Amino acid sequence: VLDAIVARRIRLVGLDVDGVLTDGGLYLGQAGGQRVELKRFHSHDGMAVWLLREAGLGVAIVSGRASDATTVRARELGIEDVIQDDTGAGRKLEPFERLLAKRGLELEECAFMGDDLADLPLLSRVGLPVAVANAVPDVKSAAAMVTRAAGGHGAVREFTESLLKARGVWERVMERYLKERGDVPAERTGSR
Ligand SMILES: [Mg+2]
């Protein structure tokens, strides 16, 4: 269970891609003479991004690997803040700090989800460091929460539910989602 005071302080959630939004697998090949890289994302995590935004939180992607698959997924989810280090160095802290400066946010107001060593500089600085079940031991040690779900299997969704519950807004945000879709379950409206 997340600490309510820490949870309420969070204004932005940063997400690593490989191993967090995906299971870390990379599908590499060629098609029509072009290099192709595909990743497998989880629909539950897409929903999590919607829920976080509905709760008034920002969402940013911070990947150490530049990939068209990441760009496509970010666009689909309406995530504007997408950091992809294409220098091969896989740096995350520096570009993330630049993003926070732009948004007028502090590291303590951020949660970050990671799985590997490249995430450690960020995880050791943010207010709420989160590791996925498949994270390496050092990343788990640095985290305030380790999800039961592995990356690419709804880990972002699991953290999102914990965060919104700790903030006391889970019910409201879920109701809003159902209402927007126009199909509120009968037991929620009190009618049959
Ligand atoms: Mg990773």
What is the three-state SS of 8-75? HHCCEEEECCCCCCCCCCCEEEEECCEEEEECCCCHHHHHHHHHHHHCCCEEEEEECCCCHHHHHHHH
Confidence of residue 187 (pLDDT cuts 50, 70, 90): low
For residue 146, how far is its CA from the centre of ligand 1 (angstroms)?
A: 14
State how far the Cα of 14 lies from the Cα of 61, in Å rounded to an integer: 6
pLDDT band at 86 (very low <50, low <70, confident <90, very high): confident
192 CA to centre of ligand 1 in angstroms: 47
Q: State yes or no: pLDDT of 132 exceeds 70.
A: yes
pLDDT value, residue 137: 98
**DSSP of 118-184:** GGHHHHTTSSEEEE-TTS-HHHHHH-SEE-SSPTTTTHHHHHHHHHHHHTT-HHHHHHHHHHHHT--
Q: Is 1 a residue whose pLDDT tops 90?
A: no
Distance 12 CA to ligand 1 centre (A): 19
> If you average pLDDT over every residue of the chain, what do you get?
94
pLDDT band at 189 (very low <50, low <70, confident <90, very high): low
Q: What is the mean pLDDT of residues 22-33?
A: 96
The rounded Å distance from CA 122 to ligand 1 centre is 12
pLDDT for residue 75 is more than 50: yes
